[in-house]
Amino acid sequence: MAKPAAAAFLEACDRLGTVPGATIHVGDNLRIDAEGPTVAGLVAVWLQRDRQSAGGVRLAIASLRQLPRLLADITVAR
């Protein structure tokens, strides 16, 4: 299995010992790294470097430097 299959993200959560709703995935590919984990129930953060439209993506950052502040503001399920 591979991204963006939900099973890939669920397997990663299982191996990490986390639940999807309490797991944040950050990536720079809209389909693979934002839509894929969202379908699996993870919190997806899209690294939107090229400034293209985020569409239905809820969380997007333009630089990894923005990630600590975003993570401080995110409340995830436990």
Domain span at residue 65 reads 6-73
Q: Does residue 57 lie in a domain region? A: yes
**For residues 74 and 43, what is the distance between their CA atoms, to the nearest angstrom?**
9
Q: Does residue 59 lie in a domain region? A: yes
In the predicted model, is pLDDT for residue 56 greater than 90? no
Identity of the amino acid at 18: T
Q: Are 41 and 56 in contact (CB under 8 A)?
A: no
Q: What number is the average pLDDT over the span 25-40?
A: 91
pTM assigned to the model = 0.83
Q: For residue 64, how many other CB atoms are within 10 A of its CB?
A: 12
Residue 30's H or E segment, with its range, is none
Q: Provide the CATH number for the domain around residue 18.
A: 3.40.50.1000
In the predicted model, is pLDDT for residue 55 greater than 80? no
Domain count, the chain: 1
Burial-class residue 65 by CB neighbours within 10 Å (0-12, 13-18, 19+).
exposed
Q: What percent of the chain has pLDDT over 90?
A: 63
